[in-house]
Structure formats: structure tokens, C-alpha cells
Amino acid sequence: MCMKKEKKLCSFAPLIICILLFLLYLLSFTSLISGRYAEKKITSAILNKKYENTIHKIEIHSLDQTVLLFRNETLWSGIITINGIQNTSIFSVDKSKIESFIKLLIRLRDMYIISDNTKDLISFRSQNSNNCYIAVYGNSNNLYTKIYYIRNVSPLNRLTFLTDNAKALYQTEDDFNNCLGRGMETWCDPFIIPRTVFDLAAGKNIQRLFFDGAEKSITVSDIPAILDLRHGEIFYGKIINADQKHISTLRIELGDTSVIKLDFYCSSSNKKDNSYICDYIFYPGLFFSENLQREINALHYQVRLSDWSYHSLLSLLKSG
């Protein structure tokens, strides 16, 4: 009986040895990643909260395009560069989107240290210096931080990033879907009558409204419906040419003497294309500072309107 037991033990010996070796391998691997590559979790922010109210410029670069968002007093504007060619259009930025983006940068979040090896940091920075980064500047154009990042490389939906002076490579939750990797449509004020400019006006009220030179009367209850109408895409550059027929002009005079002028054009001579192009020109009120007047004057861009949006606007305009 003893001999049989010994033979059974001997037959299991190779299996036991393999299991022990495998466990030793796991222990050595765990030891390795706990050194250089462990997910050491910390709680921190990508950008120090103390900069929240003094940010004046954000540059978001993704492969072949750069979106530059800049602030003058309370007005955020934007401009885009694609393949090194800067767009001539300066658009008004949706204030709520820029505020949400800054909140993402300054909020405390879980971060995981992927590597603190100097060679890894240099390699990551050199490989991504011209690909994807976010640069945040203060009011004197001083650089607060530059964040090099890669998206969608982790099955855990994490953003891998490295700041300019960081001593470690990090991963964190990728909650930037509405901000990164997109162009002007992400940031442009989405309303036909831009809230960005409208909200700057003292009193925030429509004083008078003219459609093709004729003054229109609107009820107080109609104003929210007019302000809630949205446009479609924003165009890269100025696209209005001889093919686009001018069909109407809307002039909105605000309570502080500011004026928003909207010129509407047929999108094309193609009868199947029922959309319209809206071309904006802004005239700031006398109560703004010279700097803000200059920035508002510089806004000039064009967007697409659906047939429904354009005719919804027309239906709200009543003869005076």
C-alpha cells in the first residue's frame, strides 16, 4: 500500500512543480509591475484648480487640426487650423461647453501611474508632441500646462496622458468624448441667435427686429422660442459665392445698442438641397470696453440652417 501511495505522489510531482513554478512567475510579474508599471492609484487633478478663473487660452491639437479657444473679458471665441492653414472664420464659443471642459481639467479624479521610468516619459512625449495635446494658458500668455495624450488604447476606456513637467505617465477615466478629437462644431455657439453675444448685452433683451428692412413685432412669449432655434454645421472658411442666392436679412437690435445681422442664402442651386447658409456680422454696443468691441467685431462665420429651422424662424416673425 505504501509503495502505491508513493508512486501516486511521484506521478503528481511534475504537476505540482509546474504549479509552483507558475505561482513563482506570477509573484515575480506582480513584483515587476508594482515597481515600474503598477497601477498606483492617486487622487489628483489634471490642472490645478487655482487656475480656473484665470484661463485665457486653450489650444487643442489632434493630428492635423488645432482648435484655438481664447477669452477676452467674458467673451470666448474660437478659430481652427487644419493642415497648417488657419481658417479665416472666428466663431463664438458656447460658454457652457468651455466651462464644462475646464471643470473636467480641474476636477479631482482617480489617476493610475503607468510608468515613472525616465525613458518611458521621454519616449511618450517625443511620440506625441506633434499628435495630440492640450495647452492651457493664462492671461499673460503664460503656459499653465501642456498635456500630451492618447485615447482609446485601454480596454478600460482610459485616457493615457503626460503633462509637460510630470515625472510619471498616467491613465484616467476618458470622460472627454464631447471635447477631444472634434472640430469647430464641438465648440461653436449652437443657436441661430448666438447666446454668447446675446448674453453680453445689458438687459439681454431684443429692442427691435427688422426682416428685409421691415420692422417686425414679436411678443414676449415668442422670444424664448426664437432664442432656442439652433443651426447645423459651421463651415470651414467663407463659402458664399455667386452660386448662393441671397434671400433675406435679419437685423436684431439689442437693448444696449448692439446689433446682430444675419444674412441668409440658398445653400446651392440644387433643388434637392433645401438647407440655407447663415452669414453673421456683429456690431457691439457702445457700453462695451474697446477690447471687447474689437473682439465682437472680429466674429464672422457661416453656418448651415435646415429648412425646418429657417421656416420656424420665419413663422415667429410677425408683421409690425
**Sequence spans of domains, the chain:** 43-184, 190-319
Render the burial of 43-57: b for 16+ CB within 10 Å, e for the rest: eeebbeeebeeebbb
Count how many Cα atoms sit within 13 Å of the Cα of residue 287 in the half-sphere of its side chain. Answer: 10
What are the CA-CA distances from residue 99 to residues 32, 232, 240 (Å)?
41, 22, 32
CB atoms within 10 A of CB 173: 14
**pTM for this model (two decimals):** 0.81
pLDDT at residue 36 in the model: 44
For residue 272, what are the CA distances in angstroms to 264, 275, 307?
18, 9, 11
The set of long-range contacts for 106-109, using a CB threshold of 8 Å and a minimum separation of 24, is 106/45, 106/46, 106/47, 106/48, 106/49, 106/51, 106/52, 107/45, 108/43, 108/44, 108/45, 109/43, 109/44, 109/45, 109/46, 109/172, 109/173
The angle subtended at Cα 163 by Cα 157 and Cα 165, nearest 5°, is 155
- CA angle at residue 312 from 306 to 316, to 5 degrees? 150
Q: What is the pLDDT of residue 303?
A: 93
From the first residue on, what is the mean pLDDT of each consecutive set of 10 residues in the chain (320 residues)? 47 56 40 48 93 95 90 92 85 93 95 90 78 91 92 77 88 84 81 89 80 87 89 80 84 89 85 85 88 90 93 80
| Separation between Cα atoms, residue 277 and residue 246, nearest integer Å | 9
The answer to whether residues 134 and 148 touch, using CB atoms and an 8 Å cutoff, is no
Residue 16 neighbours by CB under 8 Å, 6+ apart? none
pLDDT of residue 84: 83
Q: Count CB atoms within 10 A of the CB of residue 70.
A: 19
In this prediction, residue 53 carries a pLDDT of 94
Position of cell 458664399?
Answer: 240
